[in-house]
């Protein structure tokens, strides 16, 4: 009778392995993100009120295409001053985009006129001269989490349910003896 308990325990242990493996794979996949980088040129033109004004080569259609596919703007990168800027809030309106970073610096792009502006606080916060910016990146990310992970996890329960039935069957047999 002891061998039956050992066999049942071994079958249960072996049946749980696929569940654990699939769960680990699903957790790893849910943490993956896809990153897209759009590089564009900027040319300083003038100071307007509390903003530096630039012309830019960023194309609206390219940016809106990624946003419609579920990407979000997460960072800007200033090549000239080697600064990575974390975007905390952004708003895309038909021909304009406004972005705010984690230091309350505002970036504004107008696609109709091909102009952009950066608030003057950029210089003091990042210890750089915004007028020198010539090249920037917009970094967009998308979480690759899929609902297929749930189906794979549920399918991995099948062996466990089967083993449960086998254990119940042997338990009932041992009760009769």
Within this chain, do residues 16 and 72 fall inside the same structural domain, yes or no?
no
* Sign of the torsion angle spanned by Cα atoms 8, 11, 14, 15: negative
Within this chain, do residues 25 and 42 fall inside the same structural domain, yes or no?
no
Using CA atoms, how far apart are residues 55 and 43, in angstroms rounded to an integer?
A: 5
Where do the DSSP E strands lie in 9-104? 33-48, 51-56, 72-78, 83-93, 96-101
Given a cut of 90, whether residue 37 has pLDDT beyond it is yes
Radius of gyration of the chain (CA): 28
Given a cut of 90, whether residue 140 has pLDDT beyond it is yes
Given a cut of 60, whether residue 147 has pLDDT beyond it is no
Within this chain, do residues 167 and 85 fall inside the same structural domain, yes or no?
no
Within this chain, do residues 19 and 93 fall inside the same structural domain, yes or no?
no
How do residues 90-118 score in pLDDT, each as one tens digit?
A: 998 888 999 999 999 999 999 999 999 99
Burial class (CB in 10 A: 0-12, 13-18, 19+), 78: buried
Q: Check residue 78 and give its pLDDT.
A: 93
The count of structural domains within the chain is: 2
Given a cut of 90, whether residue 53 has pLDDT beyond it is yes
Within this chain, do residues 8 and 54 fall inside the same structural domain, yes or no?
no
Mean pLDDT over 15-40 rounds to: 75
Within this chain, do residues 23 and 80 fall inside the same structural domain, yes or no?
no
Domain residues for the domain of 118 are: 33-143
Given a cut of 90, whether residue 19 has pLDDT beyond it is no
- Verdict on whether the full-model pTM lies above 0.85: no
Lowest-pLDDT range, 8-12, 24-28, 48-52, 146-150? 146-150
Average pLDDT along the chain: 83
- Bridge partners of 99, per DSSP, are 90, 107
Given a cut of 80, whether residue 45 has pLDDT beyond it is yes
Mean pLDDT over 8-12 rounds to: 72
Within this chain, do residues 121 and 66 fall inside the same structural domain, yes or no?
yes
Q: Check residue 52 and give its pLDDT.
A: 93
Q: Which of 168, 146, 170 is nearest to 32 (CA)?
A: 146
Confidence of residue 31 (pLDDT cuts 50, 70, 90): low
Within this chain, do residues 168 and 139 fall inside the same structural domain, yes or no?
no
Within this chain, do residues 107 and 61 fall inside the same structural domain, yes or no?
yes
Within this chain, do residues 135 and 165 fall inside the same structural domain, yes or no?
no
Lowest-pLDDT range, 3-12, 33-42, 47-56, 129-138? 3-12
């Amino acid at each position: 009778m002891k061998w039956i308990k050992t066999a049942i325990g071994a079958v249960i242990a072996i049946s749980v392995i696929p569940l654990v493996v699939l769960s680990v794979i699903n957790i790893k996949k849910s943490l993956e993100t896809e990153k897209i980088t759009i590089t564009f040129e900027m040319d300083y033109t003038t100071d307007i009120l509390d903003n530096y004004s630039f012309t830019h080569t960023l194309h609206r259609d390219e940016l809106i295409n990624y946003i419609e596919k579920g990407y979000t703007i997460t960072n800007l990168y200033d090549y000239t001053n080697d600064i990575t800027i974390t975007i905390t809030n952004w708003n895309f309106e038909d021909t304009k985009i406004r972005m705010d970073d984690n230091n309350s610096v505002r970036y504004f792009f107008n696609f109709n006129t091909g102009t952009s502006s950066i608030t003057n606080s950029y210089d003091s916060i990042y210890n750089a001269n915004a007028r020198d910016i010539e090249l920037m990146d917009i970094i967009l990310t998308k979480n690759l989490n899929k609902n297929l992970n749930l189906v794979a996890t549920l399918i991995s329960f099948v062996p466990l349910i089967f083993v449960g039935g086998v254990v119940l069957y042997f338990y009932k047999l041992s009760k009769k003896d």
